[in-house]
Amino acid sequence: MSLCVWSSTMFIDEAKITVKAGGGGHGSIAFRREKFVPRGGPSGGDGGSGGNIYLVTDIHENTLLKFRYAHTFRAERGRHGEGSNRHGRKGDDLEIKIPVGTVVYDDATDEMLHDFTKPNERVLIAQGGRGGHGNAHFASSVNRAPHKAEDGAPGEEKTLRLELKLLADVGLVGYPNVGKSTLISRISAARPKIADYPFTTLEPQLGVVAVDDQTFVVADIPGLIEGAHAGHGLGIQFLRHIERTRVLLQMIDVSDANERDVIDEYHAIATELAEYNPDLAKKPRIIVATKMDAADSQKVKKLERWCKKNKLELVKISSVTGEGLDELKRAVMMRL
């Protein structure tokens, strides 16, 4: 049985937010005024610490869409100190829920603060300010009636850049209209939009594929073109999602309707992956010859010879007829 684990009407994979931890409460200046204590000492309490801000991964979150409408998050400030040595209450902490797979950067320095890869991770992202000391704190043998207190410290404020990278075992890569969406719709319950024109897929799709009693997660990455790593086409928006995958399925259209040379097609996509991140070129890869139901026999033979020469695994499939799909699933499971 297969099932889809990804469903979203709008996929948002990058966002920018401002977080402001709570400031500390001010210390108090006060003195005891008691009837039978003619020289009451200082009794100003300390201010409470400001609330911290935490980022927490939640399996029920699957996009960064909510941050499109909410940009600023503030934790509660600490309460001020009061007389009679009453300390101010600590400000409440704030937890911001994010999807698993989110990478958080400090937008000012471009430093990566944390890579959230597990459910229920809770990371302090902005520290609340310390509460100021009241005048009771400054009493000493030489200064029994101090008239000073501290202000609370401000909480940390940061602008964060959030990037969501899909957590998938397998990534489907290839030119637009090469058959990625059709394949994922045949081997899982994911139902991406499918049409006979380029760039049908405008957002990544995830599906769970079952092989006997085991499963793996496959991601349909929208089509790449030459120059994608430099921002051409749609690919640059989605290349980051391939970084976490363990195996790549590089799909090549061998139908007679495809005017590209099959070897050139392989090199073009491989180059884009390597230019974006050299580590992608090192990932295990299976070459998938697609649209075998309308195949050009010369293209198929050329691709077979080239894969054999370069010791690359080749699986031939037709998502329309189902040819090779079981073989492909088992080949992927063997690699995983």
pLDDT in tens, the chain (336 residues): 333 333 333 456 789 999 999 999 999 999 887 766 656 789 999 999 999 999 999 988 878 888 988 899 999 999 999 988 999 999 999 999 999 989 999 999 999 999 999 999 999 999 999 999 999 999 888 888 899 999 999 999 999 999 888 778 898 888 888 888 889 888 886 554 443 433 334 456 778 888 888 888 888 876 554 443 344 344 455 677 778 889 999 999 999 999 899 999 999 888 888 888 888 888 899 999 999 999 999 999 999 999 999 999 999 999 999 999 999 999 999 998
Question: What's the angle, vertex CA 326, arms to CA 325 and CA 331, rounded to 5?
Answer: 95
pLDDT score of 72: 96
> Using CA atoms, how far apart are residues 134 and 150, in angstroms rounded to an integer?
6
DSSP 335: H
Q: Is the separation of the CB atoms in 254 and 263 below 8 Å?
A: no
pLDDT score of 36: 66
Q: Which of 24, 12, 40 is nearest to 153 (CA)?
A: 24
Give Cα separations from 203 to 9, 40, 63, 67, 118 (angstroms).
Answer: 10, 70, 11, 18, 23
Q: Which of 203, 289, 189 is nearest to 241 (CA)?
A: 203
What the block records as the tokens of 238 is 């989605």
Which domains does the chain carry?
10-164 (2.70.210.12), 170-335 (3.40.50.300)
Q: Which of 115, 111, 116, 148 is nearest to 133 (CA)?
A: 148
Instruction: Give backbone dihedrals phi and psi of 55, rounded to 5 degrees, phi first.
Output: -100, 135
Q: Which of 275, 287, 288 is nearest to 224 (CA)?
A: 275
Residue range 68-77, pLDDT digits in tens: 888 999 999 9
> Using CA atoms, how far apart are residues 18 and 72, in angstroms rounded to an integer?
5
- Number of CB atoms found within 10 A of residue 286's CB: 20
pLDDT score of 59: 86
pLDDT score of 145: 85
Q: Which of 180, 176, 175 is nearest to 190 (CA)?
A: 180
Q: Which amino acid is at 117?
A: T
Q: Which amino acid is at 76?
A: E
> Using CA atoms, how far apart are residues 317 and 266, in angstroms rounded to an integer?
17
For helices 297-309 and 262-276, the axis angle rounded to 10 degrees is: 50
